[in-house]
A and B are shown apart, each in its own frame.
Chain A
Amino acid sequence: MLQLLWLVPAVPFAGALMLAIFGPRMRSKVVAVVGVGTIAVSAVISLLIAGAFLSAPPAAGADTQVLWTWIDVGSFHSAIAFYLDALSLVMVVVVTFVSFLIHLYSTEFMRGDEGYSRFFAYMNLFVASMVTLLLADNLLLLYLGWEGVGLCSYLLIGFWYQDPANGRAGRKAFIVTRVGDTAMAVGLFLLFHRLGTLRIQDLMHAAQSQWPIGSPYAIAAAALLLGGAVGKSAQLPLQTWLPDAMAGPTPTSALIHAATMVTAGVYLIARTHVLFELAPPVQLAVAVVGTATLLMAGFSALTQNDIKRVLAYSTISQIGYMFLALGVGAWGAAIFHFMTHAFFKALLFLAAGIVIEALHHEHNIFRMGGLRKELPVAFWIFLIGGCALAGLPLITAGFYSKDLILWSTANSAAGGMGLWAAGIAGVVLTSLYTFRLIFLVFFGPAATPVTRRPGRAMVIPACVLAFLSIAGGFDRAPFTAFMSTALPGFRDARGGVAEAASSTAAGFAFLAGLLAAWYAYLRNPALGRAAGRNPAGRLLHQFWFSDWGMDWLYDRLFVRPVVWMAAANKADIIDSIYDGLARMAALCHRFLSLTETGKLRWYAAWIAGGSAVVVAIVMFL
């Protein structure tokens, strides 16, 4: 069964190729079958592999399938090889399954769009790249997948390219993540230069044996890899691209910018956990970055009025939780939260898509309202997703995963109560903005009439995800046990805080946020209006709305100088060198044509002269 591993990325890739070449000529039904079918095949195969892996685990808990040698130059060897252990297995299963559901959803969502086949081609290519990234045996292949998902993200954000704003959003995403990618590339160079290999398992063993804890090389390498992770996962300071990325179609936002691509950074850190364990300052930085991001994004989400932007900031915030977990050494908890987050965040985006479609592309939540009665299915699934996000105690998956993270943080050596308190504050914020969203969209007076009801293809995947958002949390114990075959277990450093205490605190935080939202938006809407009129309140609102001013900062700091330099170099100094070469060639041509007189005696004279010179050279040299 494990021999079929290579099919998991290969089938979507073949699908992407076929759709890219033949797509415009296919009928839309065929496009849908091909586009969804490849992902279905991939998901089924990954489930079968999971079954085989669980029933008969391979030796050392991991299996490698080598396809062929990619690069073999000097001392550098890199192969196209796939590495399957608990970590990559879980992530591949989640990614392919959620992708399948989202592809099914988009057959109806994107119906009638003139880029129907192009959309599925890009989405298939994305899934192929993401799976390559997850299964990669060496960091170079991982980087290939990394770049591939970045490319597909760019292509899909700017999918409706006729609107230049979409193109700008795509470029912004690509360029900001590029900063991170460059840091990661430098990290790869450093690792290869010092340790001589990029094969992940060999690299981890070499690092552990050669570098002591706190070694400067480990710190540098881990910091650079963190830079790459921060870029791709939209954490501080490279998070500015994700809210703008909502310009893409909703299924894209659901798949790429919520469930899968943005978690690539989490995967990278988990994969190279040895490096981070060897560099405690960097691991602390991971936790701090995660905490800061989750709070910042939480505040920003409170002020947004576009439904997708709220969910985007929510994604940034939740990945902050995953980074926090990685930073305190709760590796399994981070992956568990990844899984539950994939379920409920994709669910929320799909439900948001249903609402947007129903209201004929209305995104502003202040122009929605009262949809509880008009779209009951959307209401219930959105409610389930929102409760999972906010962490409704005991029945939602999100509660179990977030709780594990918070409890681990409280008991860790690096984190302690400070980070725990920040995490609890994050829970309050999450609950607050989630229920603000739900109350504004589904309760209150109706502002825009419903023009379309969702079809089966849109509702069924959402319902499946809703079920998983509830049931996915109950398998926490076997999940963490399974994870410990690939990742180190959590080291309980203080042992002071019991889980029950932490869970209770989280539950109260959830209630606090819910009550505050209910009061501010349902009971007493005048409060919000009064806050809006208050100058301090307005200032705060503007500050949080613009993502804490980071876009403004980056514009002043980086964008303007570069644009100025480009305008200054308008005559293109470098190009004029080559222009000069061409001009000199033309000049030589003009002079040499003067020797073509057409006269016989002139030519004969030149022959005679030339032979005299040649004979002289032969004679004297």
Chain B
Amino acid sequence: MLPIREGFILSGILFTLGLIGVLVRRNLVFALMSIEVMLNAAGLAFVVAGTRWRQPDGQVVFLFILAMAAAEVSVGLALVLELYHQYKSLDTDAISRMRG
């Protein structure tokens, strides 16, 4: 008996937690970490679905998500470094020059 529905529910809970992290934490690094949690949760959902249908497609998509997360993290963290170099702070509320 595979826990398909429970797997989806777990994925939903993790996604929600990641969302809360993005909305609450003002430190940019924490925000990026929370985004990673959300991505991971989405990948979990795909794998569970692939298992339910007995096809490897779910795992293939998870691989793509992984690749995308890697690319995103590398660029994102480079930006974080640059931002810290410019503003000496990682508070996303303070860095709001794109206002208006």
Contact B100 A604 (CB under 8 A): no
Please measure, in the bound complex, the distance between the C-alpha atom of A608 and the C-alpha atom of B19, giving whole angstroms. Answer: 8
Give the A-B contact count at a CB cut-off of 8 A. 32
Which residue of chain A is the closest to B98 with respect to CB atoms? A598
Q: Which residues of chain A in 568-607 are interfacial with respect to chain B, using CB atoms and an 8 Å cutoff?
A: 593, 596-601, 604-605
Please measure, in the bound complex, the distance between the C-alpha atom of A608 and the C-alpha atom of B97, giving whole angstroms. Answer: 23
Please measure, in the bound complex, the distance between the C-alpha atom of A264 and the C-alpha atom of B22, giving whole angstroms. Answer: 83
- Quick one: which of B24, B26, B28, B100 contacts A598, CB cutoff 8 A? B100
Contact A604 B22 (CB under 8 A): yes
Contact B23 A604 (CB under 8 A): yes
Q: Which residues of chain B in 1-41 are interfacial with respect to chain A, using CB atoms and an 8 Å cutoff?
A: 19, 22-24, 26, 28, 31
Q: Which residues of A contact B23 (CB under 8 A)?
A: 601, 604-605, 608
Contact A596 B100 (CB under 8 A): yes
Please measure, in the bound complex, the distance between the C-alpha atom of A596 and the C-alpha atom of B23, giving whole angstroms. Answer: 17
Q: How far is the CB of B82 from chain A (nearest CB, A)?
A: 16
Prevailing SS type, chain B contact patch: loop
Contact B100 A600 (CB under 8 A): no
Contact A599 B19 (CB under 8 A): no
Contact B26 A601 (CB under 8 A): yes
Which residue of chain A is the closest to B26 with respect to CB atoms? A601
Please measure, in the bound complex, the distance between the C-alpha atom of A599 and the C-alpha atom of B28, giving whole angstroms. Answer: 11
Please measure, in the bound complex, the distance between the C-alpha atom of A152 and the C-alpha atom of B14, giving whole angstroms. Answer: 81
Contact B31 A598 (CB under 8 A): no
Contact B96 A601 (CB under 8 A): no
B55 within 8 Å of A (CB atoms): no
Please measure, in the bound complex, the distance between the C-alpha atom of A337 and the C-alpha atom of B23, giving whole angstroms. Answer: 95
Binding site for A on B (CB under 8 A): 19, 22-24, 26, 28, 31, 92-93, 95-100
Question: How big is chain A's contact interface, by range?
Answer: 10 to 19
Q: How far is the CB of B76 from chain A (nearest CB, A)?
A: 12
Contact B31 A600 (CB under 8 A): yes
Q: Which residues of A contact B100 (CB under 8 A)?
A: 593, 596, 598
Please measure, in the bound complex, the distance between the C-alpha atom of A605 and the C-alpha atom of B23, giving whole angstroms. Answer: 6
Given contacts A596-B99, A596-B100, A601-B92, 10 further A-B contacts (CB under 8 A): A593-B100, A598-B95, A598-B96, A598-B100, A599-B92, A599-B96, A600-B28, A600-B93, A601-B23, A601-B31
Please measure, in the bound complex, the distance between the C-alpha atom of A608 and the C-alpha atom of B16, giving whole angstroms. Answer: 10
Q: How far is the CB of A613 from chain B (nearest CB, A)?
A: 15
Which residue of chain B is the closest to A605 with respect to CB atoms? B23
Contact A600 B99 (CB under 8 A): no
Please measure, in the bound complex, the distance between the C-alpha atom of A598 and the C-alpha atom of B92, giving whole angstroms. Answer: 9
Q: How far is the CB of A9 from chain B (nearest CB, A)?
A: 63
Q: How far is the CB of B84 from chain A (nearest CB, A)?
A: 15
Which residue of chain A is the closest to B22 with respect to CB atoms? A604
Which residue of chain A is the closest to B28 with respect to CB atoms? A600
Q: Which residues of chain A in 365-397 are interfacial with respect to chain B, using CB atoms and an 8 Å cutoff?
A: none
Contact B97 A598 (CB under 8 A): yes
* The 8 residue pairs across chains A and B that have the minimum distance between CB atoms: A598-B96, A598-B99, A600-B92, A598-B98, A599-B96, A604-B22, A599-B93, A605-B23
Q: Which residues of A contact B92 (CB under 8 A)?
A: 599-601
Q: How far is the CB of A585 from chain B (nearest CB, A)?
A: 18
Instruction: Find the residue from B24, B31, B96 having the highest chain A CB count within 10 A.
Output: B96
Q: How far is the CB of A506 from chain B (nearest CB, A)?
A: 90
Which residue of chain A is the closest to B96 with respect to CB atoms? A598
Contact A601 B22 (CB under 8 A): yes
Please measure, in the bound complex, the distance between the C-alpha atom of A608 and the C-alpha atom of B22, giving whole angstroms. Answer: 10
Given contacts A608-B19, A608-B23, A601 and B93 within 8 Å (CB-CB): yes
Please measure, in the bound complex, the distance between the C-alpha atom of A599 and the C-alpha atom of B99, giving whole angstroms. Answer: 8
Q: How far is the CB of B31 from chain A (nearest CB, A)?
A: 7
Please measure, in the bound complex, the distance between the C-alpha atom of A597 and the C-alpha atom of B31, giving whole angstroms. Answer: 18
Please measure, in the bound complex, the distance between the C-alpha atom of A517 and the C-alpha atom of B22, giving whole angstroms. Answer: 108
Q: How far is the CB of A74 from chain B (nearest CB, A)?
A: 55
Q: Which residues of A contact B22 (CB under 8 A)?
A: 601, 604
Which residue of chain A is the closest to B99 with respect to CB atoms? A598
